[in-house]
Amino acid sequence: MPENGLSHPSAVAYPTTPEEVAILVRAAGACGLAVVSRSGGHNYAGFSSGAFGGEIADKRHTNGENDRFEKEQSAMQGEGNGVLVIDLSSFNNIKFDEATGDGTEIVTIGAGCRLGRVATVLAEKGRALPHGVCPTVSIGGHAAHGGHGLSSRKWGLTMDRIVSHEVVLSDGTISNVPVSSSSKEGQADLGPLSWALRGAGPSFGVITSYTLRTFPMPPVAVHFDYWFSPVGASLAADAMIAYQDWIPWVPGEIGLAFMFMTGEGDGTIQYKLTGQYLGPRVALDAIVSPFLKTLQRLGISVTTESKTQEFPPDLRGFNVGQNDQTEGPIWSSDSFYAKSLAIFDKKEDLLTREQALALTSYLKADPSLRKTVWFVMLDNWGGVDSAISSVPSQNTASNTRENLYAFQMFVRPEDRRPPFTSDGVQFLKGMCDAIINARRDLSTWRYGGVANYVDPELSREEAQQMYYGKEKLVKLREVKRRFDPGNVFRYPHSILPA
């Protein structure tokens, strides 16, 4: 769980059944406590531990609209910050639907299940799902905001595989919310709720389990790393633009990121191309070759490369070594700050070379940064063959289907211990500002963010604009008014009722 020193919920409950969750939600609603769910506790901002309380971010970024909830909450605070954390770690069952197909296609997974365990149990049946690479992240929060991993360009986001959710709503009802719901007479139309749960889940209920449609495991996968010769800011910017030009055309079987980090020599930036290919090694070489040739023409060469081929593939990605922490308490902690900035797949919204150069110049400018552990990752999401962008954006609440790629910027102290210094926060803000401020047409430039890489420095309005966009936000607030009119599920970035 990310530590930020601000976490002090009023109570943490450890239910074991949906019925117990329902009792807790009703009780919290009656007492005026905010309810937040915690599945794997990996939220970057600690929102799942009640960090910042339900609404403190709005006190920093007041727009007047939330006064009602702030007053209500302060009145009820007493001990703690007015937040009930519902911990779902006991919801860790994985059950295959034996009546469908050969009994391995449809699976119901408890919200508290960690991704490492999901991958392991599914692999034993020869099945797999698209999801992120950290084995201790739980599916609860991961799928509620999307869930992006190395196989996502082939198979979509984790949420794209959801058949139905079991969710406890604000009035304490336990509801089965299918993804495609055609409401029968006398039944509530759950279509809008299903839409909202896929991208903005934490604002609408406590999801106790997901039922998902799995894929057969592919016969082979290759994990790869290509390290390049360190270069200065100008060539690093050229390399970034070459990556942007190349990735729209790569096949869906490849999941990849271009990763920049501090170099060994003065003023140099080190970087690598890293990822996973769902196919044989020889085919990977042919796919990567055009990009390597472009870099060669720029004078950038590959210094080392590693390719690990697996039969059958271990879809746990790069973190295989940590996979033993798939159950039980996790005693390690981390102290870091991260930001995201998504580049949309529209010609007019792509990164300009000026922006790339502003970023790489910023990264090489301060030699003291070499003492900090930082990286910038450009995760590929879209492109012509991407399963993520093949789903119409309006089908789910988040706007990430518009991403061609997303920057993830990350910094941590060397010892990984709190307190996190404001220097680190300023450093990352500087990275993001370098990209944004170098944009000439800033007033019309569209960009987004990744809700699973939540940034506590953003106000509610800024975060929602980046994660959902204006139009979807209007609809989300309508759905919130219908399913959580009393704003029981609230935290600094949550959707407010219309």
Ligand X SMILES: Cc1cc2nc3c(=O)[nH]c(=O)nc-3n(C[C@H](O)[C@H](O)[C@H](O)COP(=O)(O)OP(=O)(O)OC[C@H]3O[C@@H](n4cnc5c(N)ncnc54)[C@H](O)[C@@H]3O)c2cc1C
Q: Considering only CA atoms, which of 243, 275, 418, 425 is closest in space to residue 343?
A: 243
Interface segment toward ligand X; rule CB under 6 A; list 35-43, 277-285, 287-295, 346-354: 35-43
User: Tokens in use for 101?
Assistant: 């197909």
Interface segment toward ligand X; rule CB under 6 A; list 126-134, 297-305, 325-333, 383-391: 126-134
Assess 460 for contact with ligand X (CB under 6 A).
no
Interface segment toward ligand X; rule CB under 6 A; list 55-63, 134-142, 174-182, 409-417: 134-142
Site string for ligand X, 91-120 (x = CB under 6 A): --------------------x---------
Q: Which residue spans within 231-286 are E strands per DSSP?
A: 254-262, 269-277
30: Cβ contacts below 8 Å, ≥ 6 apart: none
Assess 480 for contact with ligand X (CB under 6 A).
no
Measured from the CB of residue 115, what is the shortest distance to ligand X in angstroms? Answer: 8
Assess 272 for contact with ligand X (CB under 6 A).
no
Measured from the CB of residue 22, what is the shortest distance to ligand X in angstroms? Answer: 13
Q: Count other C-beta atoms under 10 Å from residue 325's C-beta.
A: 16
AA identity, residue 244? Q
First-to-final CA distance of the chain: 32
Closest to ligand X by CB, 36 vs 269, is: 36
Q: Considering only CA atoms, which of 350, 389, 153 is closest in space to residue 250?
A: 153
* Alpha carbons 21 and 24: distance in angstroms, whole number: 5
Closest to ligand X by CB, 302 vs 373, is: 373
Strands 83-87 and 34-38: parallel
Assess 47 for contact with ligand X (CB under 6 A).
yes
Q: Count other C-beta atoms under 10 Å from residue 35's C-beta.
A: 27
Among 48, 92, 170, 360, which residue sits at the site for ligand X (rule: CB under 6 A)? 48
Residue with tokens 């196989």: 151
Measured from the CB of residue 236, what is the shortest distance to ligand X in angstroms? Answer: 24
Closest to ligand X by CB, 50 vs 263, is: 50
413: Cβ contacts below 8 Å, ≥ 6 apart: 335, 372, 373, 420, 421, 424
Which residues are paired to 259 by β-bridges? 272, 377
Among 117, 127, 145, 316, which residue sits at the site for ligand X (rule: CB under 6 A)? 145
Assess 202 for contact with ligand X (CB under 6 A).
yes
Assess 41 for contact with ligand X (CB under 6 A).
yes
Positions 232 through 251 that interact with ligand X (CB under 6 A): none
Site string for ligand X, 152-191 (x = CB under 6 A): ----------------------------------------
Assess 40 for contact with ligand X (CB under 6 A).
yes
Residues 265-286 as b/e (b if ≥16 CB within 10 A, e otherwise) read eeebbbbbbbbbbbbeeebbee
Measured from the CB of residue 337, what is the shortest distance to ligand X in angstroms? Answer: 12
Assess 24 for contact with ligand X (CB under 6 A).
no
Closest to ligand X by CB, 151 vs 452, is: 452
Assess 132 for contact with ligand X (CB under 6 A).
yes
Cα dihedral 383, 387, 392, 395 sign: negative
Among 53, 54, 116, 147, which residue sits at the site for ligand X (rule: CB under 6 A)? 147
Among 15, 38, 181, 272, which residue sits at the site for ligand X (rule: CB under 6 A)? 38
Assess 43 for contact with ligand X (CB under 6 A).
yes
* Alpha carbons 369 and 361: distance in angstroms, whole number: 13
Among 117, 142, 316, 412, which residue sits at the site for ligand X (rule: CB under 6 A)? 142
Interface segment toward ligand X; rule CB under 6 A; list 127-135, 275-283, 418-426, 458-466: 127-135
Using CB positions, name the residue nearest to ligand X. Answer: 40
Closest to ligand X by CB, 174 vs 283, is: 174
DSSP state of 351: P
Measured from the CB of residue 174, what is the shortest distance to ligand X in angstroms? Answer: 13
Please check whether residue 350 is in contact with residue 356, taking contact to mean a CB–CB distance below 8 angstroms.
no
Measured from the CB of residue 36, what is the shortest distance to ligand X in angstroms? Answer: 4
360: Cβ contacts below 8 Å, ≥ 6 apart: 233, 234, 236, 237, 240, 260, 269
* Alpha carbons 388 and 377: distance in angstroms, whole number: 19
3-state SS, residue 2:
strand
AA identity, residue 61? H
Among 83, 88, 169, 356, which residue sits at the site for ligand X (rule: CB under 6 A)? 88
Q: Count other C-beta atoms under 10 Å from residue 394's C-beta.
A: 12
Chain positions contacting ligand X, by CB under 6 A? 36-44, 47-48, 88, 111, 132-134, 137-138, 140-142, 144-145, 147-149, 201-202, 206-207, 452
